[in-house]
Structure 1
Amino acid sequence: MSSALNRFVINFWGVRGSISCPGASTVRYGGNTPCVEMQVGGKRLIFDGGTGIRVLGRSLLSEMPLEAHLFFTHSHWDHIQGFPFFVPAFVKGNCFHIHAAIAPDGSTIEKRLNDQMRHPNFPVPLQVMGADLQFKDLQIGQSVAVGDEVLVETALLNHPGQALGYRVNWQGHAAAYITDTEHYPDRMDENVLKLAQNADVMIYDATYTDDEYHSTQSSKVGWGHSTWQEAVKVAKAANVKKLVIFHHDPLHDDDFLDQVGRDVAMAFPNSLLAREGVPLHIAPPFPSLNGAKPLKEIQVSV
């Protein structure tokens, strides 16, 4: 088995958008809001702090002391609401580099996370967290070097209040994390195409179907999210190798998502719907197991 220094693995801890939706009808894909972990060349990168980060935190308790880079796309509630329950942040000796763009109103990510944990919203303030929290404000379009080999690129997305998309580069491999974003009606978003170009994996906000997005009774135009049909268009235009449908609508139960998965696969065969607890390996390839793949793991075809 390859060492962590030679691995690029994506772990999905929260794949829902808007609000967590646990229950019998969402158990196969999961009900936690966004949190995606990437283990890249021995570095740990965490994208967003939705309710999924609570589960991630519990899984990391056996690996402390920890150092990780946490990148927020934006601070809408579903992307930060798990951070106050991220246990490793309360433990002295851990270190978290926390990156996000300054909001249009001028507030930093430190202020926004602090305000979330102030009375009357939460009983325990941010200052109680014992880990070394190093807050780093990003400029839109800025790249961040994580160690000597990992480069994280950023680009502005089309979302109310502003959001950042990310691209993680390592040894010729790349994964794009593109949520929350809404497609344009008359053109493809150049920022999205740049993030996704030739990526091994593109994780894309496909909250709706086209029918839902354009519904005459409850249009979703202007809500800041996209569709799986648009995801396929981007994947083809950007020469993406693997498309991952992400930020599932809380109204979409497992059976609905099963059908979306079949529809997406017909349009873009090398695709899947993000599921909590199912890792995605970019590098290295899986070892041979008599032709079988390890249980609950997915390999990217390149």
Structure 2
Amino acid sequence: MSKPNQQFKITFWGVRGSIPCPGAETVRYGGNTPCIAMEVGDKNLIFDGGTGLRVLGQSLLSRMPIEAHMFFTHTHWDHIQGFPFFTPAFIPGNQFHIYGTVAPNGATIKQRHNDQMLHPNFPVPLQIMQANLQFYDLEVGEVLHLEDVTIENAKLNHPGEAVGYRVSWQGLSAAYVTDTEHFPDRLDENVLHLAHNADLLIYDATYTDEEYHSKTSSKVSWGHSTWQEAVKVAKAANVKQLAIFHHDPLHNDEFLDQVHEQVSAAYPGAFVAKEKQCIDLMAVGHHKIEPQSGSNCVKM
């Protein structure tokens, strides 16, 4: 991650939910589980450590030494399973500040990362990582200031609890709201707070409304939302751009193409997130974003 002072760039390294699903049918949107990198001012931020974190780690090897702040929404497997394979964490000289809220059972973010790498789950312990790892327990609703970058969190509606984040810097903001289930009769005030007037809202739309309300395989109470609900939030919160995220592993590229057509028609500027897609919030413009991948940022 380079460090010019004037930047607010967001790169998707993992956009899939629940379980990695690599293969010919998911190659265009990607099969890695959640990981997003943000370069904000001179700060490097990473959100969640799914299998996309491994890919991000490989891209960082040419830019060491690295200092980054890592924020976890929660520690279900799909959001942490890339952390033990994050190569920069094994290399002395790198520094990572790792944040998360305390779990309902009292486990700290450090305890949960430590437990993931204990026998019989993993062959080597957390302590084998040679980078400087510093762990911080966040309070729900806490506002964190990293110099001129502000990171807020709010509780989401998800089994086992999760938080969403909002990053603000020099009048720009991005909201990362994944692993949340909408309420049947109202919009979630916490989600609206995080998304209010955001330049980009990244939202958990694992299902379609049809799947969510299926009479044969209902997804009610599974902890996830739909792209139709994402549009409702985006309109109510007056967001500039909407990224559909946390794709169901059963949704192949053709299915997500259809979702993209539908959501972009329903909300101009909405798109379905792809791995390695980059959004540059500093760029000026309000034209429609088409999903792209590669190293170049999509200009807003």
Question: Would you call these one fold, judging by a TM-score over 0.5?
Answer: yes
Could you tell me how far apart the structure 2 residues matched to 1:114 and 1:167 are?
Answer: 27
Listed as ranges, the matches of 1:230-245 within 5 Å are 230-245=229-244
**Aligned residue in 1 for 2:151:** 152
**Is the 1:7–1:284 Cα contact (8 Å) retained in structure 2?**
no
1:99 aligns to 2:99 (yes or no): yes
**Aligned residue in 1 for 2:182:** 183
SS of residue matched to 1:60: helix
| Deviation of 1:278 (Å) | 1.2
Distance 1:294 1:23, change over 3 A: closer
1:211 aligns to 2:216 (yes or no): no
Distance 1:265 1:90, change over 3 A: same
**Is the 1:201–1:243 Cα contact (8 Å) retained in structure 2?**
yes
**Aligned residue in 1 for 2:289:** none
| 1:243-297 deviation line (CA, Å, top 9, x unaligned) | 00000000000000000000001100111111001101101448xxxxxx99753
Q: TM-score, normalised by structure 2?
A: 0.95
| 1:78-113 deviation line (CA, Å, top 9, x unaligned) | 000000000000111111000000000000011111
**Aligned residue in 1 for 2:226:** 227
Q: TM-score, normalised by structure 1?
A: 0.95
Structure 1: 5+ residue runs without aligned partners? 287-292
Listed as ranges, the matches of 1:157-176 within 5 Å are 157-176=156-175
**Aligned residue in 2 for 1:87:** 87
**Is the 2:203–2:243 Cα contact (8 Å) retained in structure 1?**
yes
**Aligned residue in 1 for 2:121:** 121
Listed as ranges, the matches of 1:237-276 within 5 Å are 237-276=236-275
Runs of at least 4 residues of structure 1 off by over 4 A?
Answer: 293-296
RMSD after superposition: 1.5
Could you tell me how far apart the structure 1 residues matched to 2:112 and 2:130 are?
Answer: 18
| 1:205-261 deviation line (CA, Å, top 9, x unaligned) | 000000000000000000000000000000000000000000000000000000000
Distance 1:294 1:94, change over 3 A: closer
Could you tell me how far apart the structure 2 residues matched to 1:158 and 1:42 are?
Answer: 32
**AA aligned opposite 2:79:** H
Could you tell me how far apart the structure 1 residues matched to 2:299 and 2:141 are?
Answer: 30
**Aligned residue in 2 for 1:297:** 297
Distance 1:249 1:143, change over 3 A: same
SS of residue matched to 2:202: strand
SS of residue matched to 2:25: helix
**AA aligned opposite 1:216:** K
**Aligned residue in 2 for 1:290:** none
**Is the 2:158–2:180 Cα contact (8 Å) retained in structure 1?**
yes
**Aligned residue in 2 for 1:200:** 199
**AA aligned opposite 1:206:** A
**Aligned residue in 1 for 2:288:** none
Distance 1:141 1:14, change over 3 A: same
SS of residue matched to 2:159: coil
| Deviation of 1:42 (Å) | 1.3
**AA aligned opposite 1:128:** I
Could you tell me how far apart the structure 2 residues matched to 1:89 and 1:27 are?
Answer: 27
| Deviation of 1:298 (Å) | 1.5
**Is the 1:8–1:284 Cα contact (8 Å) retained in structure 2?**
no
**AA aligned opposite 1:270:** G
Could you tell me how far apart the structure 1 residues matched to 2:213 and 2:40 are?
Answer: 38
**AA aligned opposite 1:16:** R
1:51 aligns to 2:43 (yes or no): no
Q: How many pairs does the alignment contain?
A: 292
**Aligned residue in 2 for 1:134:** 134
Could you tell me how far apart the structure 2 residues matched to 1:169 and 1:4 are?
Answer: 17
